[in-house]
Amino acid sequence: MTEQAAPQVRIGIVGNNLYGQVFARSVAATGRAKVVALCPEFQEPLEPLATEYQLKTYPGLATMLERESLDAVLLASVTARHEADTLAALAAGVHVLMDRPVALTLEACDRMTARAESERRVVMVGHVLQFWPEYVAVREMVQRGDLGQITGVTASRVSGLLNPGWRGRLLNPEYGFGGLEAHVHDIDLLNALLGEPKTVWAQASRTEQGGWTRVQSALGYSNGCRAGVEADYSVPLNFPLMMYLRVVGEQGTLVYTFRGALAARETARRQLMLFQSDAVPVPVQVTVTDAYVGMMNHFLDAVQHGATLEWGTLGQARAALQVLLAIVKSANRAD
């Protein structure tokens, strides 16, 4: 007797924007779930995404939850709306995967955590670097001790904002943290590599409206390690996504470079190199996979099979947000 396959997870998406489109593509690539419904985060048009994936459309999340039998919602909404959207989904008995960061405040994160626990539903935050092949390789090498004790880390994330509308959304201070929302990717990674920092210093630039565009942070850790982290949204709109990571250890150094588009695979220029004294630098062999599909499968494992989240937990997201808020506090003092 053959084992019956688990039914496909029925998913609704909030937001027809860059991340909503990435979410839709990632769900389809898993082959184990189906996006069936879409609503806007504001009043943006829902085409051509709705037609491409044959989605029912709704004017808002409340109507979508009321009229659709959903197992999960994916929030591509602005950070300021994460708490309200998550609590609405949980009240309807629906699991949630949201873009990062988790919320604007630690208190909001705590309220979501308490509600998720009481409803016994999965809430995951999209800290996608924990699924990005080269960052996974770095994390595993550091945890194995391949580099010896880590003494320094440098991380950078620079990207154009595609078009004026997307720029206005990302840099609106009422919606979220602007360029610091790119910064939180590397903060989450550093938390996994080194634990939470003991000291935080930052300087940052803003738009005339108050949105953060560029931030440079210096983080200190209890073992003496120092990290320098940069995020920059001030570059021209057509500037490619550029990521850089250097992890310096007593026995070797890893350097990762990436230049391409969001979630790019074959078209991106990417390389992870290992440097050691008295040895020829060598590329670290990594199987390139789509990190967003990996993240989606991790979420679906928890939703379908009750697997425990290893990455993207609310606890990890809260820890990253706590460091981000310390960076904001320091940057405000430096103004």
pLDDT in tens, 175-185: 999 999 999 99
**Assigned domain for 302 exists:** no
Instruction: Give CA–CA dist 287/290, Å, rounded.
Output: 10
| Residue 92: CB atoms within 10 Å | 17
CA 141 to chain centre: 22
Residue 164 banded pLDDT, cuts 50, 70, 90: confident
Strand partners, 249: 150, 252
Query: Is residue 163 located within the same domain as residue 204?
Result: yes
The reported pLDDT for the residue numbered 266 is 57
Contacts of 31 (CB under 8 A, 6+ apart): none
- To the question of pTM greater than 0.85 for the whole model, the response is yes
Mean pLDDT over 87-113 rounds to 98
Q: Please give the residue range of the domain that contains residue 160.
A: 129-291+322-334
**CATH code of the domain in which 183 resides:** 3.30.360.10
Mean pLDDT over 123-138 rounds to 98
Percent of the chain residues topping a pLDDT of 70: 96
Query: Is residue 30 located within the same domain as residue 81?
Result: yes
Query: Is residue 56 located within the same domain as residue 162?
Result: no
Q: Is 15 left (phi over 0), alpha (psi -120 to 50) or beta?
A: left
**CATH code of the domain in which 92 resides:** 3.40.50.720
**Residue that finishes a domain, picked among 125, 155, 170:** 125
**Assigned domain for 279 exists:** yes
Percent of the chain residues topping a pLDDT of 90: 90
For residue 265, pLDDT over 80 is answered with: no
Query: Is residue 206 located within the same domain as residue 278?
Result: yes
Select from 61, 59, 100 the least CA-distant residue to 79.
100
- Residue 180 DSSP class: H
Query: Is residue 152 located within the same domain as residue 287?
Result: yes
Instruction: Give CA–CA dist 190/217, Å, rounded.
Output: 12
Residue type, 11: I
The reported pLDDT for the residue numbered 60 is 97
Q: Which residues of 314-333 are buried (b: 16+ CB within 10 A; e: fewer)?
A: bebbbbbbbbbbbbbebbee
Instruction: Give CA–CA dist 106/82, Å, rounded.
Output: 12
For residue 39, pLDDT over 80 is answered with: yes
Query: Is residue 93 located within the same domain as residue 207?
Result: no
Mean pLDDT over 264-280 rounds to 85
Task: Please state at what angle helix 314-334 crosses helix 180-194, rounded to 10 degrees.
Answer: 120
Mean pLDDT over 122-140 rounds to 98
Residues 49-90 have pLDDT tens digits of 999 999 999 999 999 999 999 999 999 999 999 999 999 999
The reported pLDDT for the residue numbered 165 is 87
For residue 134, pLDDT over 60 is answered with: yes
3-state DSSP assignment of residue 41: coil
Residue 5 banded pLDDT, cuts 50, 70, 90: low
Q: What are phi and psi of 330, to 5 degrees?
A: -65, -45
Count of structural domains, the chain: 2
**Assigned domain for 2 exists:** no
Mean pLDDT over 149-160 rounds to 97
For residue 1, pLDDT over 50 is answered with: no
DSSP per residue, 160-174: --SSHHHHHHHT-TT
The reported pLDDT for the residue numbered 3 is 47
45: cis peptide before it, omega within 30°? Answer: no
**Residue that finishes a domain, picked among 105, 125, 145:** 125
Query: Is residue 120 located within the same domain as residue 182?
Result: no
Query: Is residue 228 located within the same domain as residue 79?
Result: no
Query: Is residue 194 located within the same domain as residue 156?
Result: yes
For residue 112, pLDDT over 90 is answered with: yes
The reported pLDDT for the residue numbered 2 is 45
